Amino acid sequence: MPNLPRNEAVLDFLKTRRSVPWNMLKPPAPEGEALEELLEIASRVPDHGMLVPWRFLVIAPKAGERLSALALKRGSALGIEEEKCRKVARMFAHAPLIVAVIFTPKESEKAPKWEQRLTNGAVCLTLLNAAHAAGWGANWLTGWVAQDRAFLEEGLGLAPGEELSGFIHIGTPAERPAERARPDLAGLVSRLDE
């Protein structure tokens, strides 16, 4: 098979892609077919054994308000620093739309749990990139709530065994974020020739 043609638009997109911080996102957010298109693209990822070890939970603004209150309640119960609790609460209350990517590990001899988790990372990044490519702003967040079983089970309805891979905030960028530092490739690459 000959090489595929070079796709300059996609390459330019990947060279310049940049998350939009959550506090720069405002409504509107994708809904209906526009959202479905993003989730379909996000589900097109490498997945060893085709286990589909993820699901999506779409969190609308009213649910975001409920989760904001729950984060404050859980933070106080866990003795988490007040400013950290308030920050997470603000993230939920402010969000035009959040898609929670939920890790649903499957029993498999072929693909161990760590591989399934990598697939979840691919889902999160692909959703982020699809949102940006469609003209939205998006940001991948977790925070301490992502590790709190009570928050995940009471707030999001996670089943035992399910985990949170990411809260993908999606909306309309209020402004263009400044570029951030990127790693120097020279320190990252080595090579084996034999």
Ligand X SMILES: Cc1cc2nc3c(=O)[nH]c(=O)nc-3n(C[C@H](O)[C@H](O)[C@H](O)COP(=O)(O)O)c2cc1C
Q: Which residues bind ligand X (CB under 6 A)?
A: 18-19, 21, 139-143, 166, 180
Residues 6+ apart with CB under 8 A from 41: 126, 127, 130
Comparing CA positions, the residue from 130, 101, 135, 142 lying closest to residue 28 is 135
| Nearest approach, Cβ of residue 106 and ligand X (Å) | 21
Residue whose token pair is 């035009």: 96
| Nearest approach, Cβ of residue 60 and ligand X (Å) | 20
| Nearest approach, Cβ of residue 139 and ligand X (Å) | 5
Comparing CA positions, the residue from 92, 102, 174 lying closest to residue 136 is 174
| Nearest approach, Cβ of residue 3 and ligand X (Å) | 28
| Nearest approach, Cβ of residue 5 and ligand X (Å) | 27
- Residue whose CB is less far from ligand X, 21 or 49: 21
Q: Are 54 and 165 in contact (CB under 8 A)?
A: yes
| Residue sitting closest to ligand X (CB) | 19
CA angle 3, 44, 160 (to 5 degrees): 150
- Residue whose CB is less far from ligand X, 36 or 175: 175
The rounded distance, in Å, linking the Cα atoms of 153 and 9 is 41
Q: Are 29 and 97 in contact (CB under 8 A)?
A: yes
- Residue whose CB is less far from ligand X, 49 or 177: 177
Residues 6+ apart with CB under 8 A from 121: 165
The values of phi and psi at residue 165, to 5°, are: -95, -30
| Nearest approach, Cβ of residue 158 and ligand X (Å) | 17
- Residue whose CB is less far from ligand X, 49 or 121: 121
- Residue whose CB is less far from ligand X, 49 or 144: 144
- Residue whose CB is less far from ligand X, 56 or 140: 140
